[in-house]
A and B are shown apart, each in its own frame.
Chain A
Amino acid sequence: MSWWHDPTLIQSLYVVAFALFIYGLMGLTGPKTAVRGNQIAALGMAVAVIATLLTPGLGNWWLILLGVAIGTAVGVPAARKVKMTAVPQMVALFNGVGGGAVALIAWVEFRHGFGDDPLYVAIASQFAAVVGSISFWGSNIAFGTLQEILPGRPIAAGRVQQPLNLALLLGAAACAVGIIAGGRSELLMIGLLLACAVLGVMVVLPIGGADMPVVISLLNAFTGLSAAAMGLALDNTALIVAGMIVGASGSILTNLMAKAMNRSIPAIVAGGFGGGVTGAAAVEANGDRSVRQTNAADAAVQMAFAKQVVVVPGYGMAVAQAQHAVAEMAELLEAKGVSVLYAIHPVAGRMPGHMNVLLAEADVPYEQQREMDEINGEFTRTDVALVIGANDVTNPAARTDPNSPIYGMPILNVDASRSVIVLKRSMSPGFAGVDNALYFDPKTAMLFGDAKSSVSEVTAELKAL
């Protein structure tokens, strides 16, 4: 056996690989080191792949090459071409295929049989199959919802939902137990994968778009855990460490996001946020209230003579690709001596930090982007709050109306500023399906239209002033 097939060398390279993962992730804690951190983690992955290819007795090289070639051909253009606004659904998709890979590997392991392997190998492998396939199907549904292939409003099967989900989970578990106990029928494995597929779809489908970031994060943690379980089954340290780190980090991130929305994870997974009776009742109750409309010229004058303008971006800005137009407008305002700040809600957009990424893309200085706790005190000193495609995160009902589904969610206190201009496509309620009392506030003026063209019109008016 050649020296490069030495298991000690391969194991040592794995140690190098996960040291690089951890060091890389540490780099991600600050924007200055983050790019390098990500590259270091990628280097770790390269080391891990090379180490694996040194495994003695490895064959099927052409097929391995084929798989890698297909993956590269699909993954590279997808990552290169995706618009920054569509990153959340891209993450969902990348996450899903990871889970899918785990489930497929577990299937083949089952076909090989667990023979003389200790019991825990079969248990870990079946756990990986269940969690991996739930993650795969759930992520695809999350992708569909965010890409607006599927409706953003929750779709629910009603009262049968919970018992049905439980039955599916029990069915999958029964198949897994059958396999662990030594069952060799392929129907067991197919039954398990099918039950998990339906379960993944059923669990994520009723979850509205507003909760989707939390779900993607949760599924990210799931895929990590399934990879770790697969590592136990294959006795592979690199898989165990990398999978578990992702499992742990994903869980924390999920928790942070759920907290920012004042939602509990079980409540989110139980589904049905927004829609239904509450939403319909709220719309009716607001039926006879009127909103005040403004135009680009008035909005431009109002902001040009303000001391401080706070921009509140939301998903609408992302959809309209308006970040560059917004940055240009802000520069004009600053040239006129207006102080411009950006108020960023932790869950604005479809992911925490989503707005920061978009604003960074448009070269908005980091120090103008303020987090919720810092900016909320500023609103009383603000002359104009410019809400661009943000909805639920500005809704005062979260503070005042205990019956509102979003009651208790920390919001940006936009209504404390002297005047508010809301850029919005139409009066349709937000992703959570809740009507926004801010729009009916007498000091609020609505500027209807596509966010990007509205901002461009305002910019043109500012130039003409």
Chain B
Amino acid sequence: MLVQNLAVLVLAGFVGYLVISKVPNTLHTPLMSGTNAIHGIVLLGGLIVLGLGAHGVLEKILLVIAIAFGTINVVGGFLVTDRMLGMFKSDRPNRTDQ
């Protein structure tokens, strides 16, 4: 299991490297904001750990906060990125593609 997961980890690292190296300077802020939203995936961790059993009030409070944090990260991240990108008008020629 560990070795399989490590293989996935390493490959994902290279994919991230290759995909992102192509992003033009001008889109760096939206990119940062977009990748930021993607690591909100930690939300899943909160869902699993809370859903499969939390004991006592403290654990429940911690996990509800964790899920709230993860949701803020995901929802806020994608929305703010969308707002930013909407401002780049699509009918204009893109110099950086040349």
Q: Which residues of A contact B (CB under 8 A)?
A: 18, 21-22, 24-26, 28-32, 34-35, 37-39, 41-42, 45, 48-49, 52-53, 55, 57-61, 63-64, 66-68, 70-72, 74-76, 78-80, 82, 84, 87-88, 90-91, 94-95, 97-98, 100-102, 104-105, 107-109, 111-112, 118, 120, 216-217, 220, 223-224, 226-228, 230-232, 234-250, 252-253, 256-257, 344, 346, 351-354, 356-357, 360-361, 363, 365-367, 369, 371
Please tell me which one of the listed residues A34, A60, A352, A361 contacts residue B50 in the complex, with CB atoms under 8 A apart: A60
Bound together, the chains give a CA A18 to CA B16 distance in angstroms of: 11
The total number of A-B Cβ pairs within 8 Å is: 380
A353 touches B27 (CB 8 A): yes
Interchain CB contact under 8 A, B42 and A235: no
Q: Please, what's the 1-or-0 string for B22-48, where 1 marks a CB less than 8 Å from any CB in chain A?
A: 111111111111111111111111111
Residues of A within 8 A of B47 (CB): 49, 52-53, 55, 58, 64
Query: Beyond A60-B60, A67-B46, A250-B35, is A95–B73 a contact (Cβ under 8 Å)?
Result: yes
| Docked complex Cα distance between A53 and B95 (Å) | 43
Given contacts A21-B38, A71-B70, A244-B13, contact A38 B90 (CB under 8 A): no
- Measured in the bound complex, the distance between the Cα atoms of B12 and A35 in whole Å is 23
Is B90's CB under 8 angstroms from A352's CB?
A: no
Task: State which of A25, A68, A84, A231 has its C-beta within 8 Å of the C-beta of B84.
Answer: A84
Can you give 27 contacting A-B residue pairs, CB < 8 Å? Answer: A25-B34, A30-B24, A41-B34, A41-B78, A42-B78, A67-B63, A70-B64, A79-B77, A91-B36, A94-B33, A97-B69, A100-B66, A101-B66, A105-B63, A105-B66, A108-B49, A108-B54, A108-B59, A228-B9, A238-B41, A239-B45, A245-B38, A248-B12, A248-B15, A357-B87, A361-B87, A366-B94
Given A22-B15, A70-B71, A29:B27 Cβ within 8 A: yes
| Bound CA span A363–B82, Å | 17
For A365, the closest partner residue in chain B by CB is B92
Is A216 a contact partner of B65 (Cβ separation < 8 A)? no
Inter-chain CA distance A66–B54, complex, in Å, is: 15
In the bound complex, do residue A58 and residue B51 qualify as a contact, i.e. CB atoms below 8 Å apart?
yes
Interchain CA distance A37-B47 in the complex, whole Å: 26
Q: Which of A21, A22, A107 has the most CB of B within 10 A?
A: A21
List of A residues within 8 angstroms of B5 by Cβ: 231-232, 235, 237, 240
Shortest Cβ distance from A186 into B: residue: B58
Which of A107, A223, A237 interacts with B39 by CB under 8 Å? A223
Chain A residues within 8 Å of B31, by CB: 28, 249, 253, 353
Contact B19 A25 (CB under 8 A): yes
Q: Which residues of A contact B67 (CB under 8 A)?
A: 64, 67-68, 71, 101
Residues of A within 8 A of B29 (CB): 87-88, 91, 351-354, 356-357
What is the chain B residue whose CB lies nearest that of A25? B19
Residue in A26, A59, A67, A252 whose Cβ sees the most chain B Cβ within 10 Å: A67
Number of interface residues of B (CB under 8 A): 87
**Contact assessment for A25 and B75 in the assembled complex, using a CB-CB cutoff below 8 Å:** no
The 7 closest A-B pairs by CB, nearest first: A71-B71, A67-B67, A248-B16, A58-B51, A75-B76, A352-B28, A79-B79
Q: Per DSSP, are chain B's interface residues mostly helix, strand or loop, or mixed?
A: helix
- Chain A residues whose CB sits within 8 angstroms of the CB of B13 once the complex forms: 244-245, 247-248
Q: A58-B51, A67-B63 are in contact. Are A366 and B92 (CB under 8 A)?
A: yes
Are A224's CB and B35's CB within 8 A? yes
For A230, what are the chain B residues with a Cβ–Cβ distance below 8 Å?
42, 45
CB-nearest residue of chain A to B91: A32
Q: Determine whether the beta carbon of A244 is less than 8 Å from that of B9.
A: yes
Residues of A within 8 A of B82 (CB): 35, 38-39, 42
Nearest-CB residue, chain A, relative to B26: A356
Which one of B14, B32, B89, B94 contacts A30 once the chains associate, using CB atoms below 8 Å?
Answer: B94
Excluding A243-B39, A245-B38, 14 further A-B contacts by CB distance (< 8 Å) are A29-B23, A64-B51, A71-B70, A75-B72, A95-B73, A100-B66, A109-B49, A223-B39, A241-B12, A242-B12, A248-B20, A253-B20, A353-B30, A357-B29
Q: Would you call B50 and A67 a contact (CB within 8 A)? A: yes
Which B residue sits closest to A243, measured CB to CB? B39
- What's the Cα separation between A31 and B75 when bound, in Å? 21
CB of A425, distance to nearest CB on chain B (Å) = 24
Chain A residue at smallest Cβ distance from B23: A29
Instruction: A299 to B43: give the CA distance in the assembly, Å.
Output: 53
Contact status A66-B64, CB under 8 Å: yes
B30 close to A239 (CB less than 8 A): no
Q: Is the CB–CB distance between B69 and A71 below 8 Å? A: yes
- B-chain residues with CB within 8 Å of residue A91 when the two chains form the complex: 29, 32-33, 36, 77, 80
CA distance A35 to B86 in the complex (A): 6
Residue of A nearest to B82 (CB): A38
Pick from B6, B42, B90: contact of A101, CB under 8 Å: B42
Q: Once the chains bind, are B60 and A87 in contact (CB under 8 Å)? A: no
CB < 8 Å neighbour of B33 from A64, A87, A245? A87
For residue B31, which residue of chain A has the nearest CB? A28
A72 touches B71 (CB 8 A): yes
B35 neighbours in A (Cβ, 8 Å): 25, 220, 224, 245-246, 249-250
